[in-house]
Amino acid sequence: MSEKKTILITGGAGFIGSHCAELFLEYNYNVIIADNLSTGNVENANIATKFYNIDINSKDFELIFKENKIDYVLHLAAQASVGFSTREPVTDAQENILGSVNVFSLCKKYAVKKVIVASTAAVYGTPQYLPVDEAHSTKFLSFYGLSKYTMEQYLKLFEIDYIIFRFANVYGERQNSKGEAGVVAIFADKMCNNEDVTITGDGEQTRDFVYVKDIARVCLLGFESDVKNELINVSTNTGISVNDLFFKMADVLSYSKKPLYVPDRCGDIKHSILNNEKCAKLLEFIPQTSLNDGIEALLKWRMSK
Ligand SMILES: NC(=O)c1ccc[n+]([C@@H]2O[C@H](COP(=O)([O-])OP(=O)(O)OC[C@H]3O[C@@H](n4cnc5c(N)ncnc54)[C@H](O)[C@@H]3O)[C@@H](O)[C@H]2O)c1
């Protein structure tokens, strides 16, 4: 029988991290979560085999590697808000660049077998063509996009086996609906409370929404496959307009208010769809959850709270 593997998930108390932790536990991994709970939730962290309430930038972070034999690291801890990065570029760089460099240095020092990191469609800037593949040029419209791209470049120089996943717009249960959260979580929150829903611009902007449990699944496949040192988009390869999303969710929830349209936010990308052929080819994976099913799962969870 093969030995039980130990995975460290940084940011495991967050939205995506908590679903990954659940899946890895289900697949019989020891799951260690490291999270400073800045946006994460302690209830998510408590499911782990071990939880360290710690900052990835802290000197004590190394203790996790000293106290445990870590096979794999799934690095999700980050400052994940575009707007925050514009207001607080120093903190954004500290979290997403320096924090990541600390994680990678320790992975190298303690001979971690593979590291998977979460990057973002934001590194591509305004698409020159659709769907955007991995060969598309990069352009940074925010410090967040730049800090994530910089993280990618550091990782490549560390000589550790890695996969960089560039995720499209992730949605699903436990996503934070406050502040500058994902549009699906915000719509769900407003509609469940029968509050007005605001749409920026004409609502015809499209986004590629990928369900969070599909993200967890691709992370698991990433560790269990021989694929290494690759940059891979994770997406559905299709877009839906914000208007269509609104009407789809309104229909499921029998929400009858009309959306309120407000002017575009300067710098918003009109259409964002990521090509997922490389993911399908290398990992034999394409997201399995339709937007309808994902939204239903999210709304069921939301109404059970
Ligand atoms: N949600 C999306 O649509 C999306 C899209 C592309 C990429 N990503 C990336 O996926 C990852 C997870 O995002 P999420 O949506 O789950 O966000 P999230 O905010 O729910 O999760 C981030 C987690 O990291 C923790 N954290 C932040 N800074 C930390 C630090 N310095 N030390 C320790 N823990 C820290 C937070 O407390 C939180 O639990 C991030 O790297 C994000 O950039 C997310």
Task: Give how many domains the chain has, as a whole number.
Answer: 1
Looking at residue 69, its pLDDT comes to: 98
- Nearest CA residue ID for atom 25, ligand 1: 11
Q: Do the domain assignments include residue 259? A: no
Would you say residue 51 lies in a domain? yes
Show Cβ contacts of residue 97 under 8 Å, excluding neighbours closer than 6 positions. Answer: 147, 150, 151, 154
Three-state DSSP class for residue 121: helix
What the block records as the tokens of 241 is 């307009």
The answer, yes or no, to whether residue 303 has pLDDT greater than 90, is: no
Residue 64, domain member (yes or no): yes
Q: Is 170 in the pocket of ligand 1 (CB under 6 A)?
A: yes
Task: Let me know if residue 13 belongs to a domain.
Answer: yes
Does a structural domain hold residue 69?
Answer: yes
Model confidence over 150-203: pLDDT tens digits?
999 999 999 999 999 999 999 999 998 876 668 999 999 999 999 999 999 999
**Closest atom, ligand 1, to C-alpha of 75:** 41
| Residue 103 Cβ < 6 Å to ligand 1 | no
Q: Is residue 267 one of the residues assigned to a domain?
A: no
Cβ of 102 less than 6 Å from ligand 1: no
Answer yes or no: pTM beyond 0.95.
yes
For residue 42, the enclosing domain spans 6-171+210-237+273-288
In a domain, 198, yes or no: no
Q: Point out the catalytic residue in the list 29, 124, 144, 171.
A: 144
Q: pLDDT tens digits, residue range 246-257?
A: 999 999 999 999
In a domain, 242, yes or no: no
Region of residue 284 (left: phi > 0; alpha: psi -120 to 50; beta: else): left
Residue environment code for 191-219, b if the CB has 16+ CB neighbours within 10 A, otherwise e: bbeeeebebeeeeebbbbbbbbbbbbbbb
pLDDT for the residue 269: 83
Ligand 1 atom with the smallest distance to the CA of 14 is: 39
Does 145 sit in the ligand 1 pocket, CB within 6 Å?
no
Which tens digit of pLDDT belongs to each residue from 60-97? 999 999 999 999 999 999 999 998 999 999 999 999 99
CATH number of the domain at 60, please. Answer: 3.40.50.720
Q: 239 vs 2, which has greater pLDDT?
A: 239
